Chain A
Amino acid sequence: MNQYVNKKFSTQYKATIGADFLTKEVMVDDKLVTMQIWDTAGQERFQSLGVAFYRGADCCVLVYDVNTPKSFESLSSWVDEFLVQASPRNPDSFPFVVLGNKIDVDESKRMVSARRAHQWCESKGGIPHFETSAKEAINVEQAFQTIAKNALAMESDVELYSDLNDPIRIDNDSTNDFGGCAC
């Protein structure tokens, strides 16, 4: 996240405490969009609290560590969790993006292959999948571009179905970070 917004990366490990977000203005299809990227952590402690963060999200980014199979394996549960908590209008078509981070680490330590991840994404209805390195800024730009695009597509959907009373958030995006990701 930091790499994407501020073009910075810190090797200092710091677990996310509480919630943080950054905003970035991007051009998508010639439109200037303000993207709010949320980084949540620890809120699963009291289940009901997560809702506040998921609520109104336009896109959900799931990040795993390619060197940590456990983080990949728990993706399914995070998807379910998100859909339960955020309860979007059309859960089947809600845009997710999966990022396999830390590909800069030595290849020998890699535990989750790109193929396995792709297969999983396909099984979930063709979720876009990127392998990135926050440290080396590999694929970060492309990944967020896709995120913004998908989110905007969702937004237009919402616009179609929404009744007027519903507050419209045009600049929302969501990132779900977990398990040792550094962004």
Chain B
Amino acid sequence: MSTPQDFARPSEGSEADTVPNQNENEQDEQPSSHDSAVEPHQVAEDESNSGEEDDDEDDEDEDDDEEEEEEPKLRYNRIKSSVAETLTKDAASVLRVSMRFVAMGTHWGAVHILDFDGNLIKSWQNHSATVNDISIDNAEDYVATASDDGKIFVCALYTPEVQSFNYRRPVKSVAIDPEYKNKSTHQFVSGGMAEQLIMNEKGWLGHKDTVLHANEGPIYSIKWRGNLIAWANDTGVKMYDTTSNLRITYIDRPAGSPRGDLYRCRMCWKDDTTLLIGWADMVKIAKVRERNKRDQVPGQPNHYVEIICMFRTDNIICGIAPFVDNIVILYYTDEEASSDEEEEGDQRTRPASQPEIHILDWSGEEISNDVLAVNGYSHYQPNDYGLEFYPKEDMFYILSPKDIVAAYPRDLDDHLQWLLDHRKYEEALHAAEEALANGTPSEIFLIKDIGQQYLLWLMEYERYEEAAAACEKILEKDQNTWEQWIFKFAEMGQLKAMASHIPIQAPQLSSTVYEMVLAWLLQHDHKSLLDTLHEWPPILYNVSSVIMAVEDSAEKDKDNVILLECLADLYTYNGKPDKAIEYNLRLRRPNAFDLIREYNMYEAVRNKAVLLMEFDQYLLDEQAKTVQEGSPRKQANDMPAVQLLIENTQAIPPKRVVQQLKPRPKFLHTYLDALFRRDPHLGYEFHDLQVELYAEFDPAKLLDFLRASNYYSLEKAYKICEKRQLIPEMVFILSRMGNNKKALMLIIEKLRDVQRAIDFAKEQNDDDLWEDLLKYSMDKPLFIKGLLENVGTDIEPLRLIKRIPNKMEIPDLKQALLKILQDYHLQMSLRQGCEKILVSDSVQLADRMHKTQKRGVQCQVDAICNICDEPAFDEDLTGVATIVFFCKHAYHQRCLMDDTADEASLGPDHVASSLASKVNYATLLMSSRTMACPICQEQMAKGNGVVHRIAERLEPTASSTITLA
């Protein structure tokens, strides 16, 4: 974890700054008591705790800072375990990291081999003074150490083999051949105060030293990689190629650079051809390149070096290492303020600041920086620090005399921790979710925990809405936590924000929670309560108890429509539609009717007629408000409540309704009116009442009612009408009572309406009435005039005109007379015309009939006499006459005669036998002319008589059956 950079800035509360420093000093004195790694962030926490009072004031500033602040790239961990103990007695001077272990040299001359966690694997002490350098071969079998005591030891790690070389002057650096184990030459290069770069190799006659380079000041650092050896002396960095045995380059130090021994040169091979150099305040990156073949000259190096990047730093570099494509630099920082005051001779006493780890890109642009809190840093000098990197895991070790700090690239957990520390909960949550999605969730930080921290934070800042919204995502399906959080919101009095986010299924919470929320809303926010009730299925909570609570509140606050709505809905949920309907009606909610119909709750509303009617009234009022003039309006009796009542007279007996509506005559009227319109016979018992109501509220309709209904008492109705002077109605009743005369009198006297009187007279079509009318009209010129103008077609004008008293002045008499005469004349001519038409029609028809009767009758040869069933025109029966009627029925004359008269017995034999018989016969024939066809006669008389007879004849036995059928 890192120390935020601003934390170390002197400007930001120097007082706070000293706190961790003191801590550090204490730790320095008692390192053994300090058993856990003091990570910079812990120091930071100390500070933030101590400066909490300021925090509130500087909140905004801090927020700004937080925004600017970037997340560090590395995580730091102080190496503890056995090495920490070692360092309480000794002080580390050098550290090298290999692939398998860490080697540490001390000022006492000891060398410790550690694992990556700082556990001691092996240690030995060959040197009597500070170990300046350690070099490990690639096979990690041999460790070369160089010391101030002038000696170099090359130790085999896994065999007792130790070789010692004495160079008589302090050896500052050693580099063992990376292939030391595999090569028989067993080379290593060393250098130090003797100012010589010496290559030692094993030859035929034992070890042999070769001076590769000398006399340019002490050798400060040697790094061997592959075929290249780089070393630093006072003049700069040089490179030697072991294949060609030539120096290939010289990277100089700018004039005026600080003393080489004051700030040791730091070098590091990034790869086989890239060397990072950090020396004092200068960073150079050198790239070894091979010359083109054609440029190669024998005896000259085949490689050259290009400085691919170079920049100056503000602080002294105590270590340099690659980090992916960037550079990690360990900075030694002075107390700037004191550096001006101190004399140069007192450099060693100048207190130092904490070292810093910076990550830079190759142009020197800073990517991140962290301040490290190491024990006793104020006493240290640049050369006391070291930075080593472990390429396999991009891991770093920062060495100070009493501490080894490991730096790791930050993993998810670090990232989350950082975000949490900086209150970037939302991002943390996001990161954690992403990790989960990638299948690599953090094991330390659970999404839920992060989320809850986030929620806490949001609540702290009173961002309840956000918090509530985030709950769904964070709490997911955890019933318990959901409940906890809901309670928390309740404590804060912010359930409103939460209400819409509370899960109703998956997970379903305990009913207590829901009830609590509802209760809270009932107290604080009725509108939300209603919405919530709509949203939540009623199974979630105990409806009855909620009803009770709401009813309590509603009692106190009777006009609270929202509460009533709540109640209405609650009762609906609770399976008490009757109650629900009641509230719905009170609330004038249209769904009341649907409810009633749906639940067949007519019984329930049986006693709520008044409510229903009020609802109608409300709707009407609404309509009146909203509907524009001229557009169609619903009438009172079309409204849903009335319709409901009248449609369900079975369930809601009109009697009850009437009873309830009695106090509200207007409603009663509307109801009865509608009822009557639906079925004039349904409410017959109330028709008397209705007359009165019509008279009161809707006189226009009274007459129609009076006409249509047969159930009202004429007497009473008359009295009502009389009371209200409803003349036309009175007239109607009187006429109905048969008191036409009185009715007419009413018309004449009260209404003075000639036309109506005339109409009435016409309607009654009663001569007496006319008489009365005429009689009563005689002293009223207007009536006379009206009569003259209107009755021309109904009564004889004379009858009227004769009666007109003499000397009476009648306005427009002439016109009126003309009118009546004209009318009468017109009537006359109409009738005459009609007569003419009638006569001509009769003539025409008679003529046609005559013609028709004169038409011949077609007779079939095989026609049969309808009486004897013999062929009518049988040739054998000569002398037998045949009579065919117009209806085409044929008869033998004799049969017909037999049938009709006794004379038939005379028989044809007697025909023409005597004159007398002939005369008789003729007479008979004459008389028979008037005879009709017997069949047709019978048909006319009995309908199916012929059939009867025919049937009898055909099948006498079955006759009865047929007759019956």
Instruction: Point out residues on A near B: beta carbons under 8 Å.
Output: 14-15, 17-23, 42, 45-46, 48-49, 51-53, 55-56, 180
Contacts and interface: CB of A to CB of B under 8 A. Distances in A.
B108 A18 contact: no
A42 B379 CA distance: 11
Contacts, number: 57
A12 to B, nearest CB: 11
A23 B151 CA distance: 13
B376 A23 contact: no
Nearest to A42: B348
Nearest to A47: B379
A55 B128 contact: yes
Interface string B720-750: 0000000000000000000000000000000
B193 A52 contact: no
Interface in B731-774: none
B107 A49 contact: yes
A41 to B, nearest CB: 8
Nearest to A180: B345
Contacts of A19: 129-130, 148, 170
B149 to A, nearest CB: 8
Where chain A touches its partner, the secondary structure class is mixed
Interface of B: 89-91, 107-109, 128-130, 148-150, 168-170, 193, 259, 261-262, 345, 347-348, 376, 379-381, 383, 401
Contact of B91 (A20, A23, A49): A49
A17 B108 contact: no
A53 B148 CA distance: 10
Contact of B193 (A20, A45, A53, A56): A20
Contacts of A22: 168-169
Contacts of B130: 18-19, 49, 52
A21 B170 contact: yes
Tell me the dominant secondary structure on chain B's binding face: loop
A21 B383 contact: no
A49 B259 CA distance: 23
A22 B170 CA distance: 9
B129 A53 contact: yes
Max chain B CB contacts within 10 Å: which of A14, A45, A56, A180?
A: A45
Contacts of B90: 48
Q: Which of B90, B109, B345, B348 has the most CB of A within 10 A?
A: B348
A23 B381 contact: no
A52 B347 CA distance: 23
A46 B87 CA distance: 12
Contact of B148 (A18, A48, A55): A18
A21 B169 contact: yes
A48 B28 CA distance: 13
B557 to A, nearest CB: 80
A14 B217 CA distance: 13
A45 B379 contact: yes
Contacts of B150: 21, 23
A165 to B, nearest CB: 15
Contact of B128 (A20, A23, A52): A52
5 contacts: A18-B170, A19-B148, A21-B148, A46-B401, A49-B91
A15 B193 CA distance: 14
Given A21-B150, A52-B109, A52-B130, A46 B91 contact: yes
Contacts of B193: 20
Contacts of A18: 130, 148, 170, 261, 383
Given A15-B345, A21-B170, A52 B261 contact: no
Contacts of A52: 107-109, 128-130
A74 to B, nearest CB: 14
Given A15-B345, A45-B379, A20 B170 contact: yes
Given A18-B261, A45-B348, A49-B107, A56 B128 contact: yes
Contacts of B383: 17-18
